[in-house]
Chains A and B, each alone.
Chain A
Amino acid sequence: MSLQEELQGPPPAKLIVDHVSKWFRQKRQTVHALDDISLKVAEGEFIVIVGPSGCGKSTLLDIIAGLEKPDKGRVLADNEPVLNPGRHRLVMFQESALFPWLNAFGNVMFGLKLKPGLRNSERREVAKFFLHLVGLEKFMEANVHELSGGMKQRVALARALAPNPRVLLMDEPFAALDAMTREQLYGDIQRIWEKRRKTIIFVTHNVREAACLADRVVIMSPTPGRIREVFDITLPRPRDFNSIEIARHASTLTAALKEHGAHATLTG
């Protein structure tokens, strides 16, 4: 590498998905879930992967998380190969994965307790900070079943952010919420992203959501799951979900999805 490149080149990628392929062997047939996926994600970048159901986007997220192993290729996080799940890449799931035997505070503490090098009093302070950040400081003692769907996902977000992961993986985290709650959360997630500058990989089938949140949108198509196109979204933040620009970008994304034979919902 020349000195010029060393001084002026882009920073090294936070996360590298390197020619990853995945097959699922079932009784009757083998499903080719992912075909030769390559992706580089920079530090602090907000990537949204869009595709219809069955395009393997959740599988890709599982592989990045280390929950699934690729059949071919590899994933590097901070230049280390990903072999197992670990707290540097936390996942926020679509359905509520909160633990019903713990209250909201206990759920946020769960991941923190697994993080070494902190005193318990510090862990409690961190948990309080993040519950405050998602606007739930008054619901720390609430049981999971007492929270609304939106509040549950806020707690899940706090739980995922609290151990300060290097990468946050979000698997359609707002898909099960009503439109009003979702729009509030788009505002929250942008505000938090501005503050914490996390590297985020966000999976959705909702193009408008993608246009609203992403620095880069990755379009995937199904059978087998492939990356078809990548769009840069350079709109200033915070972005308003209902603005014309977002709608315009969303229709570009929809056109791209249609062109690749994949249909997605415009507004979700």
Chain B
Amino acid sequence: MRRSLLAIVFFVALAALWGAIVRAQIWSPVLLPSPLSVWDYVVNAGRDGTLLSASIVTLRRLLSGYVIGLAIGLPLGLLTASSTFVEDTIGVLALGLQTLPSVCWVPLALLWFGQTESAMLFVVIMGTVWSVVIATDTGVRTIPPIYARAARTMGSRPFHKWTRVILPASLPYLVSGMKQGWAFAWRSLMAAEIYVTILTGFGLGHLLHYGRELNAMDQVIGIMLVIIVIGLLADKILFSPWERFLHRRWGTGKR
């Protein structure tokens, strides 16, 4: 309770500081709108449904790309960790591609798929897969080998070993890898939406882009805030329960 109160006080103070800077008239209000005008934009856009439909479009793209990315990345990571051949081939490829900023996929996606949903999906998947591969690989390699040995003496066969020992044992790494994958997916989707204008759906990135075109700074900052809030909520809803479970079971994360 005290902690959330402190957090509220902090953010109110931050907004007040922002308001004070605006009132000091250092920058033109076109460049730095007041917190209230940004709030007005967010409330209006929320009321007329723009914000909701854009958020739905964006989240739909994000989730489908992310889920496909996980479905490809997890097994690939398990493979790179268990076979030296895959490690030397796919593993090296993954390591290289992971260092590539995901926005770099956008030109290629545009040329391959045109201004379509497929281009969006492709960019999000490319942003997700490689970091999930690397995290899964690291997770599996970090497991003490004694777990697998103990399981084998109890009669665990390879499939059982992978699903009941290796996967749960690497869970802490998998969750942080999934979290990192989510962050990369989110970044790459925003990059894609800002660059790729398509007619099949108007996402948050597009709203941000048109805010710039129209010189509407209240829209730009408002959408940025919405994107931040969605990111925070996703973290709290998707990953916090997992992390709480891991900390309780493994006895980690105590202060």
Residues of A participating in the B interface, judged by any CB pair closer than 8 Å: 65-67, 85-87, 89-91, 93, 95, 97, 99-103, 110-111, 114-115, 143-146, 159, 163, 169
User: Which A residues lie within 8 Å of B146 (CB)?
Assistant: 93, 95, 97
User: Does B236 interact with chain A (Cβ within 8 Å)?
Assistant: no
- A86 near B155 with CB under 8 A, answer yes
Contact with A along B140-153 (1 / 0, CB 8 A): 00000011011111
Are A163 and B149 in touch, CB under 8 angstroms? no
Q: Do B154 and A99 have beta carbons less than 8 Å apart? A: no
Q: How far is the CB of B47 from chain A (nearest CB, A)?
A: 47
Known contacts A85-B153, A114-B156; is-contact A97 B251 (Cβ 8 Å): no
Given A99-B169, A146-B251: A114 touches B147 (CB 8 Å cut-off): no
Question: How many residue-residue contacts, CB under 8 A, span A and B?
Answer: 68
Residues on the B chain within 8 Å of A91, using CB:
149-150, 153
Query: Does B171 touch A at the CB level, under 8 Å?
Result: yes
A111 touches B251 (CB 8 A): no
Known pairs A65-B153, A95-B146, A110-B154 / 8 extra A-B pairs, C-beta < 8 Å: A67-B152, A85-B149, A90-B154, A99-B165, A99-B169, A114-B156, A143-B249, A145-B251
| Contact residue among A66, A89, A99, A111 (Cβ-Cβ distance under 8 Å from B147) | A99
Q: Are the C-beta atoms of A101 and B151 separated by less than 8 Å?
A: no
B250 contacts the other chain (CB 8 A): yes
- Known interface pairs A67-B149, A99-B168, A101-B169; A114-B154 also in contact (CB < 8 Å): yes
Complex Cα gap A163–B248 (Å): 28
Docked CA distance A143–B154 (Å) = 21
- Cβ–Cβ contact A97 & B150, under 8 A: yes
| Contact B155–A115 (Cβ < 8 Å) | yes
Inter-chain contact A110/B151, CB cutoff 8 Å: yes
Q: Is B212's CB within 8 Å of the partner chain A?
A: no
CA distance A97 to B248 in the complex (A): 19
Which residues from B are CB-within-8-Å of A115?
Answer: 155
A-B contact list, 13 entries, CB within 8 Å:
A67-B153, A85-B149, A85-B153, A85-B155, A86-B153, A89-B153, A90-B154, A99-B168, A100-B250, A100-B251, A111-B155, A145-B250, A169-B153
In the bound assembly, the distance between CA atoms of A103 and B251 in angstroms comes to 12
Q: Does B60 count as interface, using CB distance less than 8 angstroms?
A: no
Quote the shortest CB–CB distance from B151 to chain A (angstroms). 7
Q: What's the least CB distance linking A246 to chain B, in Å? A: 30
Mark B residues whose CB is within 8 Å of A: 146-147, 149-156, 160, 164-165, 168-169, 171, 248-251
- A143 near B248 with CB under 8 A, answer yes
Give the nearest-CB partner of B254 in chain A.
A145
A211 to B146 alpha-carbon distance, docked (Å): 28
A72 CB, min distance to chain B CBs, angstroms: 23
Instruction: Give the shortest distance, in Å, between A139 (CB) and chain B (any CB).
Output: 15
A33 to B150, CA, bound (A): 22
Across the A-B interface, the 8 shortest Cβ-Cβ residue pairs: A145-B251, A87-B155, A111-B154, A97-B150, A101-B168, A114-B155, A85-B152, A91-B153
Contacts of A110 in B (CB 8 A): 151, 154, 164
Interchain nearest-CB distance for B198 vs A (Å):
43
Cα distance A146–B247 in the bound complex, in angstroms: 12
For residue A90, which residues in chain B have a CB less than 8 angstroms away from its CB?
Answer: 153-154
Contacts of A143 in B (CB 8 A): 248-251
CA distance in complex: A114, B169 (Å): 18
Kindly provide the distance from the CB of B123 to the nearest chain A CB, expressed in whole angstroms: 34
* Alpha-carbon gap, A99 to B168, bound state (A): 9
Residue of A nearest to B246 (CB): A101
In the complex, chain A residues whose CB is within 8 Å of the CB of B169: 99-101
Residue picked from B152, B155, B169, B171, most chain A C-beta under 10 Å? B155
**Shortest distance from the beta carbon of A198 to any chain B beta carbon, whole Å:** 15
* Chain A positions within 8 Å of B249 at CB level: 100-101, 103, 143-145
Taking CB atoms, residues of chain B closer than 8 Å to A97 are 146-147, 149-150
Given A67-B149, A95-B146, A145-B250, A101 contacting B156 (CB threshold 8 A): no
